[in-house]
Structures are given as structure tokens and as C-alpha cells.
Amino acid sequence: MTYRRTLHPDEMKSYIDATTCLQALPAALSSTIPGAVSRFDDFVGAAYIPDGESSFKSSQVQFLPWHRYFTAVFEDLLKTHCGYTGGQPYWDLTLDVKADKKFVDSPVFSPTDGFGGNGAYIPCAEQPYNSFCLTNGTGGGCVSDGPFKNTILHLGPGRNIERNDHCLTRNFHPQFPARWFSEIDINRTLAEGSYGRFWRHLEGMFEVERIGLHGAGHFGIGDPLFYLHHANLDRLWWKWQEQNPHPRLREVSGPVSEKQGAGNVTLAYEIGFGKIAQKVNIADVVHIKQKALCTIIPNTASACL
Ligand SMILES: [Cu+2]
């Protein structure tokens, strides 16, 4: 992964070009994801269908290992199918919520060098694809500038995997990044002593309003920024792990599901990705140099454990 602000505009352009390339390649998984048109849609569908992210709900402890592998598979496809040679960039929202910064001015939203900006403001109740309204939304309409302004999503809303063309929308809620990505909050999250408590911070579970770092930087699964946000959450997990490698490089905890008696997640827990990738055990991805991750990203193969 590469630090966003050190990305030269040419490197950002090559990542965005590779993403639009994936959006133009034909789907490979339309037998299981009927509405998938593009290779990019395959990933959206894999996150929706029952053994993808939705199988455990994204707000459960399996979320971190699931996304670590999912993002790596996405990066691999950019390389093998679209000639991308860089690393998966991440979006460090903390840089965009400093006192002298306005969230909307983040370079990540640049129409020329970034991913384009907010959608036009539409009152939440009038937005066709929004099933719940958070306060102080500032957008909600189609993304109207930048490289994804004409992007048509084929799946969704919700977990719909049938063909349903609609535009890519964005709805900035700057108060959430400001609340969850300040340096104070990041440091508080990184100071947690166990995987379970670290993950609870990500999901905002110590607060009544459960937004957390995860929700605060989230756009839809069909938004290319989805991968940069989750890469950043993974970077934070890795940072937390590195602070105390023994035992954190072998640590996972928390209930498998909200059902009583479902048991706890262990390293042997198997996570699925639909047909986008083979199943892996959490043990395979708990360390970023574990073979399952290393070997799908050839550049790092020499550093495999
Ligand atoms: Cu998510």
C-alpha cells in the first residue's frame, strides 16, 4: 500500500485508469451475480451475496480479515487484468479533518487528479436509493465531476444482485469524519489493548450513535473510494498489530455472530468471498506477510513468511 499524499498525480491516475479498466471488462461471475456487467461488479456482488461481507454483517469482528483479503484480491486484479504496477492506495481521512482543512477540499475529491466530489444536494427522503437518513447530509445526487461522473452502477441498492442501472451517488456527512478521524480518536483507537476493543472502536460501539471509523468514511460498495477507505482501516489494524506483534499478529477475538451461543471467532474461522476468491482461514490473513496474501501480490512474494 502507498501513502496517498506521496502518490504522484501520475500514480493516482494510473490507479484510477486501472479501476475504470476493471469497470469496462466483462463480468466473470454473472452465473452467480445475475446483474453483474463488469469485472468491477463482480466485487460489488461478492460483497453482497450470502457468503461475502454480508454473511457476517460488516459490523462483526470478521470484518477486518475479510477486507484485508478482499482488498488484496482487488489489487491483484488491477495488476493482472489492467496493467497496474503500483500499490493499493489508502485514504488517510485524518489529514482531511484538521482544523485548517475543509473535508470537501480533500485532494482525494479533486475532479482532475482525484476521484471527483460530492453529489448534488437532494433531501434524503427524495433520494431514490437511500434507505436510511443520517443527519446533515450535504449531497445525495449523482457524482457530477471527475473520472467517475458517468459511472453507472449495475447492482444494488442494498444487497440486490439483479441488474438495476443507476448513477454513482455520494452524500458527504463531514461531521462524521471530523468526529472519528481526529488524531485524538485515532490514537485512542490504537491504544486499545485487545483486538475486540480495537474493532469496537472501528464500529463506534462505545457510543450511542454507532458510526465509528468504519461508517465515518464509508461510501457505497460500488464507489471506487470504498477500496481506499477499507485499505486505510486495514493500515490502522496493521499499525495496531505492529505495536505489540506478539501476540497481536496471532490475535483475533469476539463472537461469530450476534446469536447467543454462536461461539467466538478463532484463527481457524473460515471466511468466504463468493466466487471472487477461495475461502481462507483468518490465520491466513492475520499477518500481511502471510502466504495467502503474499502470493497473490507477486511483488511481495519474496517477503512471505
Ligand atoms: Cu465497509
Mean pLDDT taken over the chain: 88
Is the C-alpha dihedral spanning 95, 99, 105, 109 positive or negative?
positive
53: in domain: yes
* Per-residue pLDDT tens over the stretch 152-179: 999 988 788 999 999 999 999 999 999 9
Is residue 273 a contact partner of residue 292, using CB atoms and an 8 Å limit?
no
Residue 292 has pLDDT above 80, yes or no: no
Separation of CA 191 and ligand 1 centre (Å): 22
What is residue 214's predicted lDDT score, i.e. its pLDDT? 93
Separation of CA 302 and ligand 1 centre (Å): 30
DSSP assignments along 233-276, one per residue = HHHHHHHHHHHSHHHHTT---SBSSSSTT--B--TT-EE-BTBS
Among 44-58, 60-74, 194-208, 216-230, the range scoring the smallest mean pLDDT is 44-58
The CATH number linked to 222 is 1.10.1280.10
Q: Which residues of 174-213 are buried (b: 16+ CB within 10 A; e: fewer)?
A: bbbbbbbbbeebbeebeebeebbebbbbbbbeeeeeebbb
Please tell me the distance from the alpha carbon of residue 89 to that of residue 111, in angstroms, as a whole number.
18
Residue 38 has pLDDT above 90, yes or no: yes
Mean pLDDT value across residues 134-159: 92
276: in domain: yes
Using N-to-C axis directions, what is the helix angle for 195-202 and 225-243, rounded to 10°?
150
Please tell me the distance from the alpha carbon of residue 63 to that of residue 272, in angstroms, as a whole number.
12
Separation of CA 251 and ligand 1 centre (Å): 21
Residue 263 has pLDDT above 50, yes or no: yes
Separation of CA 213 and ligand 1 centre (Å): 10
Q: Give the residues across from 121 on adjacent strands.
A: 140
Please tell me the distance from the alpha carbon of residue 60 to that of residue 148, in angstroms, as a whole number.
30
Is residue 172 a contact partner of residue 118, using CB atoms and an 8 Å limit?
yes
Separation of CA 186 and ligand 1 centre (Å): 18
Residue 47 has pLDDT above 50, yes or no: yes
* Domain count within the chain: 1
4: in domain: no
- pTM here is 0.93
Residue 159 neighbours by CB distance under 10 Å: 15
1: in domain: no
Residue among 193, 190, 299 at smallest CA distance from 202 = 190
Separation of CA 157 and ligand 1 centre (Å): 15
Separation of CA 220 and ligand 1 centre (Å): 8
Cα dist from 304 to 209, 288, 299, 301, whole Å:
40, 9, 10, 5
304: in domain: no
Question: Residue type at 134?
Answer: L
Separation of CA 202 and ligand 1 centre (Å): 10
Strand positions, DSSP E, the chain? 2-3, 89-90, 119-121, 140-143, 152-153, 166-167, 270-271, 280-281
Is residue 230 a contact partner of residue 71, using CB atoms and an 8 Å limit?
yes
* Per-residue pLDDT tens over the stretch 64-107: 999 999 999 999 999 999 999 988 999 999 999 998 989 999 99
Separation of CA 214 and ligand 1 centre (Å): 6
33: in domain: yes
Helix, strand, coil share of the chain (percent; to 5): 40, 10, 50
237: in domain: yes
* Per-residue pLDDT tens over the stretch 113-122: 999 999 999 9
299: in domain: no
Separation of CA 135 and ligand 1 centre (Å): 20
263: containing domain: 9-293
Residue keyed to cell 478463532: 266
Separation of CA 47 and ligand 1 centre (Å): 9
